[in-house]
Amino acid sequence: MSNMSKQVSAELQNFLSRANIAIAENDMEAAVSALSEARLLTPDHPGVLRAYIQAHANLAAKKLKSGDPAAALRATPHSLATSTKTRLRRRKRPAHEGLGVGLHLVAHGSELLHNLLIGAGGLGRVGEVVMQLFGRGFGRLIAALPVRETQVAARNVVLCFPELSGAKQRQLAKSAVRQTVQSLFELPWIWTRSARSLQKKIEGVHGLALLQQALTANRGVIIAAPHFGAWELLNRWLAQQTPMSVLYRQPKLAWLEPLLIKCRTAPGIAMLRAEPSAVRALLKRLQAGQVIAILPDQQPKAGEGEFADFFGIPAMTMTLLPKLAQRTGAIVLLCTAQRSASGHFAIRIEAATPEIADAAALNANIERIARRDPAQYQLTYKRFSMRPEGEERRYR
């Protein structure tokens, strides 16, 4: 080892020792400072990066506990964003790898989550362990903040699970927010990894025979994939089994669309924007015996759906999927990728029960899946914002 290398190693050990002492004394500011110096010496060291991320999360939690959520927010994103941008420039990563994780949050207008995720976006190449650690840490932070997502989740839990006690409702709402944030922090890894890497995270496939039988029937297949678990990972896995066309809704911010397509496109996946011409294309593909995939629980625009009960509450529901199934005779399968405590995923493929003949049957199937593990369902989404005429609003 050269004298220069020995000097760097000694300095690194000094910074890490200072960080460990600071953490033991619960001095998170000092820990972050020491680990920041260590990262300047070894910016790509995974152990230092993990400690750095955890220290930031702990510092933010400490600020939050002291009753200063603004300081908690300031404690988390800036230095991460700076180091991430440096990493991207040095490694010449495509821009979509660094920004992809923020897409969903930018489209939904959450400034807090957007800022946090832009800071983490470039970590897509670091590894799923770091991303999951990051997601868990910030998930706990955000679940304790009075931001839009926590308020919507709390309201949805009250609406959908009135039978739970107040304490259990609050616990479920926080769990749902944590799962949502973790899902978003997994996106850079999912979007930038090979099929082989993704396969290692799948711990089991249930119902594969149903998919294989549907593919050989040559009737066309409609994959209904609710917002449950890791639906982006599900798309990548499905594309390894069969080519398919995926319907997507155009983001409110037009400049995000090409970025979204770039991130989601993979071998076997063709993206189709939800518009009249796409409906004709879907019909033709189903009639030719091909596979299409639809997220069936997004609230459609006025005139593109009808009200049907969901958790006992009228919800504006798409009619496109039932109409496609009825018109083409295609087989409808519900597919999910459910997250386990280990950070792995179980793929589940199941037949529609009851058969999806209308919006009510569609919602009954989605509700059955959501009740399997409510925290992994999209409880941070305003599913009941559109109301029948004369009915009061469900959200503030």
For residues 112 and 147, is the Cβ–Cβ distance under 8 A?
Answer: yes
User: Which pLDDT belongs to residue 387?
Assistant: 96
Residue-level pLDDT, tens digit, the chain, 396 residues: 555 566 657 776 776 777 777 777 777 777 777 767 766 666 666 666 666 666 666 666 566 556 555 555 555 544 343 443 343 344 444 433 333 333 333 333 333 344 444 444 444 555 666 667 777 777 888 888 888 899 999 999 999 999 999 999 999 999 999 999 888 888 878 888 888 889 999 999 999 999 999 999 999 999 999 999 999 999 999 999 999 999 998 887 777 788 788 888 889 999 999 888 888 999 999 999 999 999 999 999 888 899 999 999 999 999 999 999 999 999 999 999 999 988 899 999 999 988 999 999 999 999 999 999 999 999 999 999 999 999 999 998
CA distance 316 to 388: 9
Residues, the chain: 396
Q: Which amino acid is at 173?
A: A
Where do the domains of the chain lie?
Answer: 1-75, 77-193, 201-376
| DSSP class per residue in 233-274 | HHHHHHHHHS-EEEEEPPPSSTTHHHHHHHHH--TTEEEEES
Phi/psi at 171 (5° precision): -65, -45
CA distance 329 to 339: 32
For residues 56 and 76, is the Cβ–Cβ distance under 8 A?
Answer: yes
User: Which pLDDT belongs to residue 381?
Assistant: 96
Say what angle helices 166-192 and 256-264 make with each other, to 10 degrees.
80
User: Which pLDDT belongs to residue 372?
Assistant: 97
CA distance 244 to 247: 10
Of 246, 296, 300, 298, residue with least CA distance to 268: 246
Please tell me the pTM assigned to this model.
Answer: 0.71
What's the burial of 176, exposed, middle or buried (CB within 10 Å: 0-12/13-18/19+)? buried
E strand or H helix at 287: helix 276-287
